Amino acid sequence: MRAAYQVLDKIKDKLRTSPNIQTVSFGDLFEVDLNKTTIFPLAHIGMGNVTFLEHKLELTMNVMLLDIVDDNRDPSTEDEFYSNTNLQDILNTLLAEANILVSDLKRGNSFTELYQIETDIVARPFLDRFENQLAGWGMDLIIIFPNNNTSIC
């Protein structure tokens, strides 16, 4: 059975094709060196529960898209709404990446290859998280795919 590998590879490969993602990591986010600035923007994948359905598996996967908030301290460039950071840029860019991933699983190549999302997905923003001011989006994907790699004999 290669089900976990197949789904992880599908999500990893999709994220790696983006010019807006520098690094894709897997596992416990707290084991990733978040102080290493060369890894951002970062997409992080965490594995969740699996539900066994009739001829299908339903895998919950957490995907986080993160980047470092850059604080420009030059007061001459301050904007009352946008402030002196790239926070809105991060939220906009990484939300677009989340949308591309979800759309692929709902109606793109992944969907055609039977890696599918059948429910609505909620992306949750986070701001100034962790010790180096990271911002971005987190979402739980419930991916359904065929359970045809295991024999019951």
The average pLDDT across 2-31 equals 92
pLDDT band at 48 (very low <50, low <70, confident <90, very high): very high
Tokens in use for 77?
Answer: 């460039």
Q: What is the DSSP letter of 25?
A: E
Model pLDDT for residues 88-147, shown as the tens digit of each residue: 999 999 999 999 999 999 999 999 999 999 999 999 999 876 777 899 999 999 999 998
Distance between CA atoms of 57 and 144, rounded to whole angstroms?
A: 6
Q: How many residues does the chain have?
A: 153
pTM of the predicted model as reported, rounded to 2 decimal places: 0.88
Distance between CA atoms of 74 and 54, rounded to whole angstroms?
A: 59
Write out the H or E segment, with its range, that includes residue 23: strand 23-26
pLDDT band at 80 (very low <50, low <70, confident <90, very high): low
